[in-house]
Structure 1
Amino acid sequence: MRVPARLGIIFLCHDELDVASQMVRVWREGGAAVAIHVDRRTSAAQFETLKSSLSDLDDLLWVRRQACDWGQFSMVEATQRAAENLLENFGDVTHLFVASGSCLPLRPVSELQDYLARHPGVDFIESVSAYDVGWTVGGLNIERFQQYFPVSWRKRRKLFDHLVEFQRRFRVRRRVPTGIAPHLGSQWWCLTRETIAAILYDPRRTEFDKFFKWVWIPDESYFQTLVRRHSTRIESRSLTLSNFDNQGKPYILYGDHGDVLAASRCFVARKIWPGAQDLLSRFPEDWGPDHARDEPNPITMERIIAAAATRRRLGRPGLYMQSRFPAKDRENGKTAKPYVVLQGFSDIFQNFEGWLASHIEGEVHGHLFGPDSVEFAGRPNLGPGVLSSQPECRDYDPSGFLTSLIRISDKRQIFQYGPRDQQQLNWFMVTDPNATFRVVTGAWVIPLMQSDMPFDDIRRVAARLQRIELQQLDIMRSVWVKADTEIWELSDFLARPADVLQRIIADLSVGQPPQIETLPPMRELDHVGRFLQRLRNAGLQPRLMGDFPATRSEEEWNV
């Protein structure tokens, strides 16, 4: 014959006492015995208000209050005191369950008690060896047992860190009491009466308490370790759904988690946001007798939280925000989507942007990083996502400008680039796998040749542009390049412009690329060879244009 189970709730609270009052009432009206410990630092007025709100429940136990510091032994002492009160006053209590004002029963308490009755003699407590498995998220693992931790990590962080470093340097090692092996786990456990009594009334309790008094966060190790000494059957899991992020902080559950919490069929969940009144009014939720014996299935909830933890740590590709600004070269993708950088084509062809836009699907811009203006497609004052065309706004954060533009639009972003443009993003772009570079080197010489500037100025500008483009090429040919890069010298491109443009169209097209029927009008190129020779004669060695014979007479280039 199955023996019925009755819960004894060790209820720990320190704030949000109005919510705590609701939770106490849920546990008590569900048939559980409740021992309440309120942190002594909670004001007397708040404490009396809580007692008054629960005055109609005459069999509640009010545990003698003490101040509880996070990560210190006072948390264990409060739990011990509440457990002793329950054992002494309720002889019919078969299991003790630790809960707080942030723990919300998701199913009727009677279903939890029936579940415990169907698992007689089982202690539900997460208990992981501190030597074998890294249970902790950040922080200390086995060192929390080997060193002394006399000060609060939260209140005196610097002193705490100095003490840890001091003990590491001088190899301070505490001796673990004989007969126990350090274990770690969640503080939200459910133990049988026999096991908790064996822990509390162990003849060596004074010795164990003295040892754990100097352990860091002993509420995650005291019962988890000693249960291994006394329990006959341990189920190393908690009946409370509780998850932590990559920094070891508990996840807060809000109103929009209601459906997935219900679907988990877990008995209890924490940590509930105090303002989530829709959760507080919905749960515990009774699904009827057909579901009274449903097994807890936290996998879906854990997957959602794991995905959220990954998203928080890695962010979304190409998204930079104040709350998660990544370190250099540790981004989850520099940009969100593929984009194309074309260099030299608009110098060779007239109206190249319009011609290219008519052959591919994408947003074809001019020189987005031009010195005088941001040349959005169509030249509006405000581009996609209300990005300004003012270069001062762009230059304040060039990478932010580029990543925002790419993320904002559904179309592929294609823009012109060259040595006249702002050069801060060269390394950023060539190390971005989303970037595609198609470059004709030395094409900048064509508009320079056709300018009306004095030749001395032309030579000076040519020297500067060539120096910049040579630096660009060094970057594009480095071993760190991740972009799709293809480079032609000007003379090689002009020898077969239709073939190169057809390849570019094919690279930028989805599906079958269109065939080029006509090329965009090409700028006047007859004098390139002689112009390059004049630069040589003036002491500048053109290095990026390829082979252009000097076929024109000197008289045609009189200044």
Structure 2
Amino acid sequence: MAKIAFILLCHKNPDAVIQQAQQLTDAGDCMAIHFDGRASDTDYRRITAALRDNPRVTFAKTRVKCGWGAWSLVQATLNAVEAAVDAFDHATHFYMVSGDCAAIKSARYAHAKLDGEDVDYIESFDYFESDWIKTGMKEERLIYRHVFNERTQKTLFYTSMELQKKLKLEREIPADLQMMIGSQWWCLRRQTIEAILSFLKGRPDVIRFFKTTWIPDETFFQTLVRHLVPENEIRTRTLTFLIFSDYGMPVTFYNDHYDMLLSQDFLFARKISPEAAELKERLGALYASDREDFVISNEGQKLFTFLVGRGREGRRFATRFWENESSLGRERELLIVTCKKWHVAKRLLGSIQDHANIPTIDYLFSEEHTPLPDLGGIQTTLEKRNRHRRALLRMLFDYYDTDRLLICLDPSNLDLMHDFGSDRSTMKVLEIECDFSDDYLIGHAMRVGLAGENSGEETLERLLPTIRYDVIYESDALRDANFPHFTRIRESAPTDKNAEALSEFLEVPADVAERIAQTDHLFTD
């Protein structure tokens, strides 16, 4: 009878990880966990302590610092797979899951499904002939070497690729491999996993190639399985149910989706809302049950498309997905840096990105040209961003696969801060208090159209007190707002004081905050 070794990649919510591991192993299956090396060591110790006495749980021997789209995700998977192979010699199948996944069938049903056919379940479509990649880079993912991360080092990523194009540094794909692509949520038999591990020991060239491809978790296993396993033993599908909106974002499931999920022809679903506690409890109990009487209607994707279509036609009878998901999420943390001198805030964000590895976006609600990923059009204009501001931020949290996001707002955007502050998520605000010389304020007046090159000295002298008062008024209004998580750094303050405030705001160690506070020319005009 099938025994599943779940390969769990996770980076947050230790209580949810513990619950997920206990629910899946209580039914007799086992689990190997990789907890992101970038995540909290305290959370990791909490997970290991809670699961230490569970013989059906093991942990990857080495924790990798994972980055979206990078080789590190594949390496983390391999580390967990190797731990599972060593610890669970009775496991017949290895099933990739994330912390957002949950079973939508019973263990008995799942085991019977896997016993029914001696095959692997993995999406594996021809990389160049299929239309699996809808937009964006395709061949460029493979033929150029990607050593920078597009999401956290966007400028370096594209500069490096353009330089390789200019110098004609295209590389060859390993000649004996037919490149394939598909979802990373696979279920593979033990013999397939062992064949992959054995293959990799003799082919360091393959590992070198994939290490510098972009988004290798969508190509690595998909290609190797097709290379090592006969076609008639591969089912080109995933056993994990997931829906993507036409904005490219995964649709989240809530408590009232229970019956719909059970009727899908899948064993697991992704992604379950962190707030759907009732749904998680019911699905956990379901996996441990003996139930086998599932009626499969498989209408999930069609139902979603139908409801969204009615919304477009003006015949909506329920809110559209961005309105329904108006909260950023209870577990998420929005960090806001506010400063009248935008160039100072942008320098600070760059330093935070380098030292704290928090996704950062500068004045997205004030500058049309702020670099943003393609989110299906919601990001294209300032008017759209402001109108759907919570939806936009929620999609950015999803895009960067993070629970912490840092943005810049002008102090005049106090209404946005009040709106975000009223959300169920946590909002933290850092004010950068700068010194303003008369020359700077005059330049500011010219930039915003309050003065021109031909404005006389008398006009400027009358204007200066008003502009200075506006700056002071906005700063006072920030303090009067009484946001619960409000900190401040000052141009006039010593570095150690600013480092203390940054450490509190970012929740980073003192030495990291010190390096950020010492950013070269931080306050220079």
Shorter-chain TM-score bucket reads: 0.5 to 0.7
Q: Please name the residue that 1:274 is paired with.
A: 274
2:146 alignment partner, one of 149, 153, 176 = 149
Change (3 A) 1:327 1:62: closer
Distance 1:172 1:304, change over 3 A: farther
Give the distance between the partners of 2:9 and 2:320, measured in 1 at CA.
40
2:57 — aligned with what?
A: 60
Q: Could you say which residue in structure 2 is the equivalent of 1:264? A: 264
Give the match for residue 191 of structure 2. 194
Cα separation, 2, equivalents of 1:320 and 1:294: 29
How far apart are residue 308 of structure 1 and its match? 5.5
Contact 1:20 1:100 in 2 (8 A): no
Tell me the residue number matched to 2:207. 209
* Pairing of 1:143-542 with structure 2 (within 5 A): 143-202=140-199, 203-232=201-230, 233-284=233-284, 286=286, 292=292, 294=294, 299-307=298-306, 316=314
How many pairs are equivalent? 323
The residue type paired with residue 245 of structure 1 is S
Secondary structure at the counterpart of residue 75 of structure 2: helix
Alpha-carbon distance between aligned partners in 1 of 2:166 and 2:256, rounded to the nearest angstrom: 49
1:75-103 CA distance string (max 9 Å, x none): 11111111111112222111110011110
Aligned position for 2:329: none
Q: Choose from 81, 84, 94 the match for 2:82.
A: 84
Secondary structure in 2 matching 1:99 = strand
- Structure 1 distance, partners of 2:116, 2:320, is 51
- SS of match in other structure, 1:305: helix
Contact 1:130–1:184 (Cα < 8 Å) also in 2: yes
1:320–1:90 Cα change, 3 Å:
closer
Q: Normalising by the residue count of structure 2, what TM-score does the alignment of the two structures yield? A: 0.56
Aligned Cα root-mean-square deviation (Å): 3.1
Contact conserved, 1:106 with 1:285, CA < 8 A, in 2?
Answer: no
Among 9, 28, 31, the alignment partner of 2:28 is 31
Residues 408-435 of structure 1: per-residue CA shift (max 9 Å, x gap): xxxxxxxxxxxxxxxxxxxxxxxxxxxx
How far did 1:208 drift?
1.0
Separation in structure 2 between the aligned mates of residue 320 and residue 42 of structure 1, nearest angstrom: 33
TM superposition shift of 1:240: 0.5
CA shift digits 1:327-349 (9 cap, x unpaired): 99xxxxxxxxxxxxxxxxxxxxx
Residue 70 of structure 2: aligned partner: 72
CA contact (8 A) 1:37 1:78 kept: yes
Cα deviations by residue, 1:369-421 (Å, 9 ceiling, x for unpaired): xxxxxxxxxxxxxxxxxxxxxxxxxxxxxxxxxxxxxxxxxxxxxxxxxxxxx
- Displacement of 1:205 in angstroms is 3.2
Aligned mates of 1:270, 1:321 — CA distance in 2: 16
Higher relative contact order (CA 8 A, sep 6+): 2
| Aligned twin of 1:107 | 105
Deviations 1:3-59 (A, max 9, x none): x11111111110122112111111111211211110111111111112233244134
Q: Would the aligned equivalents of 1:39 and 1:66 in 2 still touch at CA under 8 Å?
A: yes
Could you tell me the TM-score, scaled by structure 1's length?
0.53
* Contact 1:7 1:97 (C-alpha < 8 Å) held by counterparts: yes
Measured after TM superposition, the shift of residue 307 of structure 1 is 3.9
Deviation of 1:322 after TM superposition, in Å, equals 10
Which AA in structure 2 matches 1:266?
F
TM-fit CA distance, 1:124: 0.1
Structure 2: runs of 5+ lacking an equivalent? 324-376, 382-525
Where does the alignment leave 5 or more consecutive residues of structure 1 unmatched? 329-559
- Secondary structure, aligned partner of 2:82: helix
Q: CA deviation at 1:107?
A: 1.3
- Taking only the aligned residue pairs, the percentage that are identical comes to 31
Question: Which letter does structure 2 place at the counterpart of 1:46?
Answer: D
Once residues 311 and 40 of structure 1 are traced to their aligned partners in structure 2, the CA distance between those partners, rounded to angstroms, is 44
Q: Deviations over 1:123-148 (max 9, x none)?
A: 00001111111202433223211122
Describe the SS at the equivalent of 2:55.
Answer: coil
> What amino acid sits opposite 2:111 in the alignment?
Q
**Distance in 1 separating the partners of 2:144 and 2:248:** 21
Which range moves more in the overlay, 269-278 or 141-150? Answer: 141-150
Per the alignment, residue 136 of structure 2 pairs with 139
AA of the residue aligned to 2:303:
I
- Greater share of residues in helix: 2
Assess if the C-alpha contact under 8 Å between 1:98 and 1:187 holds in 2.
Answer: yes
C-alpha distance 282-275 of structure 1, shift in aligned 2 (>3 A): same
Q: Distance in 1 between matches of 2:287 and 2:17?
A: 24
Counterpart secondary structure, 1:264? coil
Report the Cα distance in structure 2 between the residues aligned to 1:54 and 1:302, rounded to whole angstroms.
Answer: 36
2:401 equivalent in structure 1: none
Task: Give the counterpart letter for 1:36 in structure 2.
Answer: I
Structure-2 separation of matches of 1:25 and 1:114: 21
Which residue matches 1:16? Answer: 13
Q: CA deviation at 1:215?
A: 0.8
Q: Is the 8 A contact 1:241 1:266 kept in 2?
A: yes
List structure 1 segments (4+ residues) > 6 angstroms apart after TM superposition: 287-291, 317-328
Q: Do the aligned partners of 1:145 and 1:182 also contact (CA within 8 Å) in 2?
A: no
Alpha-carbon separation, structure 2, partners of 1:322 and 1:255: 18
1: CA distance between counterparts of 2:303 and 2:274?
21
Q: 1:274: how far off?
A: 0.6
Distance in 1 (CA, whole Å) between partners of 2:178 and 2:315 is 44
Amino acid corresponding to residue 114 of structure 1 in structure 2: A
Work out which of the two has the higher radius of gyration on C-alpha atoms and give 1 or 2.
1
**Distance in 2 between the 1:284 and 1:90 partners?**
22
